[in-house]
Amino acid sequence: METKPPRGTKDILPPEIRIWQFVEQEAHKHFKSYNFKEIRTPIFEYIELFQRGVGETTEIVMKQMYVFTDNSGRTYVLRPENTASVARALIDNDIFQIAGPKRYYYIGPMFRYEKMQKGRYRQFHQIGLEIFGDEHPAADAEVIAVGYTYLKRINCKNLIVEINSVGCRKCRTTYNYELELFLSKNKDYLCQDCKDRLTRNPLRILDCKNENCINLVKQAPIILDYLCKECKVHFNDVKFYLDRYKISYELNPYLVRGLDYYTKTAFEIKSGELGAQNAVLGGGRYDSLVKELEGPDVCGIGFALGIERVILAMDTSSIKEDVLDYYIVCLTEDAVMYAIEISEGIRKYNYSCEIAYKPTSIRSAMRIANKLNAEKVIILGSDEITNNVVSIKNMITGEQSIIHKNDFLKQL
């Protein structure tokens, strides 16, 4: 029997789970303050959703999906990302019939068959958000600002915001042509993967981490020189509003997103704390996704961040460890009933409490209490039952006291 988890997945146990809970709780609070509502979509979807939504020629769809067939013979995919699912859910639930922008966020696992390395897993977890139906450039700036301020809020260090515009279908066609022409002329300098990308998806070559490809790309035409008037104005406005949100950014003309559906604004937030996989958050505008999925002609903008990577970039020192408020130790079998009564009284006041049912010595109970990070230990033996009292030891001050059960519960 294999007890290791599948390659590229990992168990998350205490005390690390505290950090995950903190990251998730702060996300709920932060996104609520910008009036985003949570959405939960299925973990698997029909394969066509991603083929159409993400794009047949993307790496994700071509190489990285976990595909399976069920007993009915239908083919499904463990979701590799969640924007297409959110768009599908809003179409399916007729949410787009309601007027006004739609603002949603999600938290959950995604699955991609990836080459394993630090910060790159096959089951990883994303927090993401989307605004649908708001074409205003201030919405682009707001989405970047929400991501950045959230990362600051959870103590991510050394953050750099990078932005670019990948244009619309119109300007990208001209650019793709020019880029392909330039790269074809210099094909010999490209790595094998990029040679394959050349006709399929030349834009992705801009993102390649191979040193020769990086050097060649530095001489390639840049998309910002090919933007149509509308895309240029939009991009300038996004920068204007980013200044209003007081977000500093760097222009990165080589920044592209891995998925086909992006248009206009593309952005990433990187952390200097990380190595090769330094992007903690990525996103952009996608003006044609909903229509592509047979929904109305509604634009969108959003981002996704990887929880595993964010945790690597965080200063977690101020996240408090779990504390057990009360540990109740039974010295005799008779004490168990008394312990249950007291523990239920304690929990009514929202304090945490665990009972050691099996009669034990005080010495070994104290050892366990320390391991459990207990603040107070209640000791119950025959004397306590007879006199209706509890013996309490404060593990921080060392102070001990005996107090009547009713008084104890009243003072909680």
- Closer by beta carbon to ligand AMP, 308 or else 384: 308
The answer to whether residues 345 and 328 touch, using CB atoms and an 8 Å cutoff, is no
Question: What is the smallest separation between the CB atom of 17 and ligand AMP, expressed in angstroms?
Answer: 18
Residue closer to ligand AMP (CB basis): 41 or 126: 126
Place of tokens 């248009």: 263
With respect to ligand AMP, which residue has the nearer C-beta, 121 or 327? 121
Question: How far, CA to CA in Å, does 146 sit from each of 49, 160, 303, 389?
Answer: 28, 14, 10, 53
Residue 84 or residue 366: which is nearer to ligand AMP going by CB? 84
Closest CB 145 distance from ligand AMP, rounded Å: 17
Is 26 or 114 the residue whose CB approaches ligand AMP more closely? 114
CB of 269 to ligand AMP, least distance (A): 8
Strands of the sheet containing 300-306, edge to edge, are 37-38, 102-111, 123-132, 300-306, 279-285, 263-271, 159-165, 250-251
Q: Which one, 41 or 343, has the nearer CB to ligand AMP?
A: 41
Report the alpha-carbon distance of residue 176 to residue 203 in Å, rounded: 7
Least spacing, CB of residue 40 vs ligand AMP, in Å: 18
Q: Which is nearer to ligand AMP, 167 or 282 (CB)?
A: 282
Q: How far apart (Å, rounded) are the C-alpha atoms in residues 308 and 319?
A: 16
Q: Nearest approach, Cβ of 129 to ligand AMP (angstroms)?
A: 12
Q: How far is the CB of 401 from ligand AMP (least distance, A)?
A: 50
Pairing of strands 159-165, 250-251: parallel
Where are any strands of DSSP class E within 248-299?
A: 250-251, 263-271, 279-285
Question: Which residues of this chain interact with ligand AMP, rule CB under 6 A?
Answer: 81, 112, 114, 119-121, 124, 126, 258, 279-282, 304-306, 308-309
Residues 182, 186: Cα–Cα separation, whole Å: 7
Q: For the residues of 306-367, what is the DSSP string, one character each?
A: EHHHHHHHB--TTSPPP-EEEEEEESSTTHHHHHHHHHHHHHTTT--EEEE-S---HHHHHH
Kindly tell me which of 293 and 304 has the beta carbon lying closer to ligand AMP: 304
Contacts of 186 (CB under 8 A, 6+ apart): 216
Strands 374-380, 324-330: pairing is parallel
- Round to whole Å and give the CA distance between 141 and 242: 5
User: What is each CA distance from 354 to 59, 226, 280, 389, in whole angstroms?
Assistant: 50, 65, 38, 18
C-beta of residue 107 within 8 angstroms of C-beta of residue 20: no
Residue 85 Cβ vs ligand AMP, minimum distance, rounded to whole Å: 12
Nearest residue to ligand AMP on Cβ basis = 306
Nearest approach, Cβ of 174 to ligand AMP (angstroms)? Answer: 25
